[in-house]
C-alpha cells in the first residue's frame, strides 16, 4: 500500500519499497513506522498521511461518505472529523489544509494544465492568493473596556432575517471539480439544507454536466428555499431557467456574469457569454424575484448593474477561478460600496475562511458574506451537518471577534474595528 502526505501532497511512502533515506526497510508497513516520523519533504506529522485509494477502493470511499449518516445522528460529530473525512473524499483534489490560500505549492494549484482546476484557481493563482492577502493585511483593533453584551449577529438579507450575515456561495461541478464522491443533487441539497439548518440561506450554482443543469433549481424546491445562480447562457435559456426558479420557491435568482470565464463550461464545450446592459435589463425585467449579479469587480460594472435594476451585487472574482491577476475582493470592496451608495445590497466573497474574515468584509461595507471552498469541504465531508457545523465554527470566531472589538451587533461592525491605514 502507498500513503501520501496530505500537507505537501508530494511525498509518497510505498510499503513495498520502504525508504532507505529515512532508514525504513522495504516491506515495512506504514503502521509500524514510529509515530515521531515526519514527512521528509514538508515535515508534516505521520497522522497527516492518507492511504492512496485504488480505483476499486472508490466503493469504500463512497461508503465512508458523510462519516455515515447514522454516526452523524447518533454521535456528536465534530467539525474536525468532518474536515478529516473531506480530506479522504477529496484525495488528489484538495488536501484540506488548515490554511487554504492558493499558494502555488498547494496540491490544488497543480491541476490547471489543460485539465479542470479542481478547487484551485486559474493561471498562477494570483487572484486566488490576492483574495487571501487583501484580507490578511487588515489588522483588527482590540477594544475591551465597555459594557459587556452578548453579540447579536442576526441581520436581514433582502426581506429575510438570517441568523448570521453569511450565506453559501453558488457552487456546482461535483463530478468535474470535487472528485464525484457524491452526486450533484446530494451536494446541492446538503449545501442548501445545511445553510437552512444554520438559520441562513444557501445560494447554489449551475453545473454544465449533461442532464444536471437543473440540479440547483430541483434542490431549492426540495429544501423549500434557496437562491439559484445561473451561468451566463443566452438570454432565451436564462428566461426559461428563471421561470422554473420562480416555480421552485427561489427567494431570488441571479447570474454569475464572471462565469463567462468558467474553465469547466469551456472544457465541456458549453457556450457562455458576456451580458450587455440591454440584456441585463431584460433579465431583471423578466421576473418579479430580486435579481442578483455575481462577479462584480469594477465600479463601472457595479453602476451599470444598479442602473439595470439589479437588487444585489456580489463583489467576487469567482474565488480566482475566472480571470487571473485581479485585485483581492477585500481591497476593492470599499470602492464599490462607496460607488453604489446603498442603492443595492452588496455581498462579497473570496478568501473568507474564518469569522474574523467575515468581520473584515462586513467592516469594509458588505451587507453579507459568501463562502465557497469551505462550504465544499464541509458538504463533501459531512453533508448538511458538515455545512451547519461550518456555520457554527464561523459564528464562534465572529462572536469572539465582536466581543473583543466591542461590537454588539452587525451594524456596529465598521471601519472603527481596524487598527491600520485602512481606517
Ligand X SMILES: Cc1cc2nc3c(=O)[nH]c(=O)nc-3n(C[C@H](O)[C@H](O)[C@H](O)COP(=O)(O)O)c2cc1C
Indicate whether 171 belongs to the interface with ligand X (CB under 6 A): yes
Sequence-distant (6+) residues with CB within 8 A of 361 are: 135, 329, 330, 333, 348, 352, 369
Calculate the dihedral angle through the C-alpha atoms of 313, 154, 129, 344, rounding to the nearest 10 degrees: 10
Indicate whether 6 belongs to the interface with ligand X (CB under 6 A): no
How many residues belong to the site for ligand X (CB under 6 A)?
27
Q: Per-residue DSSP letters for 254-282? A: EEEGGGGG-HHHHHTT-------HHHHHH
Minimum CB separation of residue 36 from ligand X in Å reads 35
Indicate whether 350 belongs to the interface with ligand X (CB under 6 A): yes
Minimum CB separation of residue 205 from ligand X in Å reads 2
Among 51-59, 180-188, 369-377, 378-386, which window interacts with ligand X (CB under 6 A)?
Answer: 369-377
Among 173, 179, 261, 383, indicate the residue that binds ligand X (CB under 6 A). Answer: 173
8 Å CB contact between 177 and 119: yes
Among 164, 310, 312, 371, indicate the residue that binds ligand X (CB under 6 A). Answer: 371
Closest CB to ligand X among residues 316, 406: 316
Residue 86 burial (CB < 10 Å; 0-12/13-18/19+)? buried
Indicate whether 165 belongs to the interface with ligand X (CB under 6 A): no
Distance CA 212, CA 230 (A): 13
Q: Which of residues 260-319 bind ligand X (CB under 6 A)?
A: 294, 316, 318-319
Helices 329-340, 355-363: axis angle to 10 degrees equals 40
Closest CB to ligand X among residues 39, 375: 375
Among 179, 328, 349, 382, indicate the residue that binds ligand X (CB under 6 A). Answer: 349
Closest C-alpha to 422, from 333, 343, 356:
333
Among 15-23, 268-276, 285-293, 345-353, which window interacts with ligand X (CB under 6 A)?
Answer: 345-353
Indicate whether 177 belongs to the interface with ligand X (CB under 6 A): yes
Calculate the dihedral angle through the C-alpha atoms of 268, 176, 373, 383, rounding to the nearest 10 degrees: 130
Q: Which of residues 197-256 bind ligand X (CB under 6 A)?
A: 205-206, 229, 256
Distance CA 362, CA 348 (A): 9
**Burial profile 339-353: b = 16 or more Cβ within 10 angstroms, e = fewer:** ebeeebbbbbbbbbb
Minimum CB separation of residue 174 from ligand X in Å reads 9
Minimum CB separation of residue 117 from ligand X in Å reads 8
Among 155, 172, 193, 263, indicate the residue that binds ligand X (CB under 6 A). Answer: 172
Among 321, 377, 388, 395, indicate the residue that binds ligand X (CB under 6 A). Answer: 321
Closest CB to ligand X among residues 65, 122: 122
Closest CB to ligand X among residues 125, 372: 372
Q: Which of residues 99-118 bind ligand X (CB under 6 A)?
A: none
Closest CB to ligand X among residues 119, 252: 119
Calculate the dihedral angle through the C-alpha atoms of 280, 282, 283, 284, rounding to the nearest 10 degrees: 90
Among 47-55, 347-355, 379-387, 412-420, which window interacts with ligand X (CB under 6 A)?
Answer: 347-355
Closest C-alpha to 361, from 295, 420, 315:
315
Helices 373-404, 79-89: axis angle to 10 degrees equals 150
Instruction: Please report, as ranges, the residues that interact with ligand X according to CB under 6 A.
Output: 119, 131, 169-173, 177-178, 205-206, 229, 256, 259, 294, 316, 318-319, 321, 349-352, 371-373, 376
Amino acid at each position: 500500500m502507498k500513503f501520501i502526505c496530505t500537507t505537501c501532497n508530494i511525498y509518497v511512502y510505498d510499503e513495498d519499497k520502504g525508504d532507505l533515506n529515512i532508514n525504513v526497510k522495504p516491506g515495512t508497513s506504514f503502521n509500524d513506522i514510529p509515530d515521531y516520523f515526519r514527512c521528509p519533504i514538508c515535515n508534516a506529522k505521520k497522522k497527516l498521511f492518507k492511504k492512496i485509494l485504488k480505483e476499486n477502493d472508490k466503493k469504500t470511499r463512497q461508503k465512508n461518505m458523510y462519516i455515515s449518516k447514522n454516526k452523524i445522528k447518533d454521535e456528536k460529530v465534530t467539525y474536525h472529523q468532518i474536515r478529516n473525512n473531506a480530506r479522504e473524499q477529496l484525495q488528489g483534489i484538495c488536501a484540506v489544509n488548515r490554511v487554504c490560500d492558493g499558494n502555488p505549492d498547494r496540491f490544488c494549484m497543480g491541476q490547471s494544465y489543460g485539465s479542470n482546476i479542481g478547487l484551485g484557481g486559474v493561471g498562477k493563482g494570483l487572484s486566488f492568493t490576492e483574495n487571501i492577502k487583501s484580507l490578511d493585511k487588515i489588522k483588527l483593533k482590540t477594544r475591551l473596556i465597555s459594557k459587556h453584551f452578548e453579540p447579536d449577529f442576526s441581520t436581514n438579507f433582502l426581506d429575510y432575517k438570517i441568523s448570521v450575515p453569511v450565506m453559501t456561495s453558488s457552487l456546482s461541478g461535483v463530478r468535474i471539480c470535487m472528485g464525484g464522491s457524491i452526486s450533484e443533487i446530494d451536494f446541492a441539497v446538503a449545501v442548501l439544507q445545511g445553510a437552512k439548518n444554520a438559520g441562513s440561506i444557501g445560494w447554489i450554482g449551475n453545473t454544465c454536466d449533461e442532464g444536471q443543469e437543473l440540479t440547483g433549481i430541483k434542490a431549492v424546491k426540495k429544501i423549500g428555499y434557496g437562491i439559484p445562480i445561473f451561468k451566463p447562457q443566452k438570454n432565451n435559456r436564462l428566461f426559461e431557467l428563471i421561470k422554473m426558479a420562480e416555480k421552485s420557491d427561489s427567494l431570488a435568482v441571479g447570474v454569475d456574469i464572471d462565469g463567462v470565464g468558467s474553465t469547466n463550461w469551456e472544457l465541456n464545450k458549453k457556450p457562455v457569454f458576456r451580458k450587455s446592459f440591454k440584456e441585463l435589463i431584460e433579465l431583471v425585467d423578466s421576473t418579479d424575484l430580486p435579481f442578483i449579479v455575481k462577479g462584480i469587480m469594477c465600479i463601472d460594472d457595479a453602476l451599470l448593474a444598479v442602473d439595470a435594476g439589479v437588487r444585489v451585487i456580489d463583489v467576487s472574482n469567482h474565488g480566482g477561478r475566472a480571470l487571473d491577476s485581479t485585485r483581492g475582493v477585500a481591497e476593492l470592496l470599499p470602492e464599490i460600496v462607496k460607488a453604489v451608495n446603498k442603492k443595492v445590497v452588496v455581498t462579497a466573497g473570496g478568501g473568507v475562511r474564518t469569522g474574523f474574515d467575515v468581520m473584515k468584509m462586513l467592516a469594509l461595507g458588505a451587507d453579507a458574506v459568501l463562502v465557497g471552498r469551505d462550504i465544499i469541504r464541509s458538504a463533501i465531508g459531512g453533508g448538511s451537518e458538515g455545512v451547519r457545523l461550518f456555520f457554527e465554527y464561523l459564528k464562534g470566531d465572529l462572536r469572539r471577534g465582536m466581543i473583543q472589538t466591542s461590537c454588539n451587533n452587525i451594524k456596529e461592525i465598521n471601519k472603527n474595528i481596524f487598527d491600520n491605514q485602512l481606517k
